[in-house]
Chains A and B, each alone.
With several copies, the nearest count.
Chain A
Amino acid sequence: MTKLIKVRYFAGFRESAGTDEEELSMDVSTAGDVFAQLQHRHGSSEPLGHCKVAINDEMADWDSSVKEGDTVLLFPPVAGG
């Protein structure tokens, strides 16, 4: 089912996407689906296992479901400190 999803990119992902956010109509059910489709679209090779995701500013899992109107935040490997 196609949903309108807002996607936000950070750090290296923003650089490969060429934008920090976009609104997309996507046929996805989980956060992992969003990652997979956008990885293909933006040609990024970062493995999903190294990345993290948040939905509407809450940390989420890759199998968390995504619904119409959600904002999905794609975090490349973090490196604080």
Chain B
Amino acid sequence: MKITADSIEPDKLRDDLLDRGAGAYVSFEGWIRDHNDGQKVQRLEYEVYEPVAIKEGEKVIEEAKKKFPLLHVACVHRSGLLEIGECAVWVGVTSAHRDEAFAACRYIIDQVKVRLPIWKKEHYVEGHSGWVNCERCAEHGHKHSVVTGN
């Protein structure tokens, strides 16, 4: 698990997972969309509390390795200000067969999104901004706590 303020380079990260015994590689990338919940997004700001985010991310990866027969796993999450189209999070998994690679990649991104101390503030084209609440909270109809004027 790595947190970085620099651009994520998926092709280099992928090459670290190469393995002669691997038949399947599945990767997920989360990109900054130009819209969310009907609002036009200009950029996103990620606040990460690194000491706990890294520990919790490693825990998620260990859980995935226990659940599925994997060869290699890695996850990198950005911090700081990101522009539309940039990669905010990358997960890569290799295994002998594809079933476990898909399942593990999905497990990791799902857990990372709800467990790591990472917050994003959307800056909207209209000028205001707001912290985005967690996905699970969103299911309870509780989405944005919009802060105006910044």
| Contacts from A to B (Cβ < 8 Å) | 10-12, 15, 46, 50, 52, 54, 57-59, 73, 75-81
- Tell whether, in the assembled complex, residue B131 and residue A12 are in contact, meaning their CB atoms are under 8 Å apart: yes
Q: Which of A54, A59, A80 contacts B89 (CB 8 A)?
A: A80
Given A57-B52, A81-B88, the answer on whether A50 and B117 have CB atoms closer than 8 Å is no
Given A10-B119, A57-B52, A57-B55, the answer on whether A50 and B47 have CB atoms closer than 8 Å is no
Give the secondary structure class of B's interface: mixed
Q: Which residues of B contact A46 (CB under 8 A)?
A: 145
How many A-B contacts at CB < 8 Å in the complex? 74
Report the count of interface residues on B (CB-CB < 8 A): 32
| Contacts from B to A (Cβ < 8 Å) | 30, 47, 49, 51-53, 55-56, 77, 88-89, 109, 112-121, 131-137, 142, 145, 147
Given A11-B119, A79-B113, the answer on whether A50 and B131 have CB atoms closer than 8 Å is no
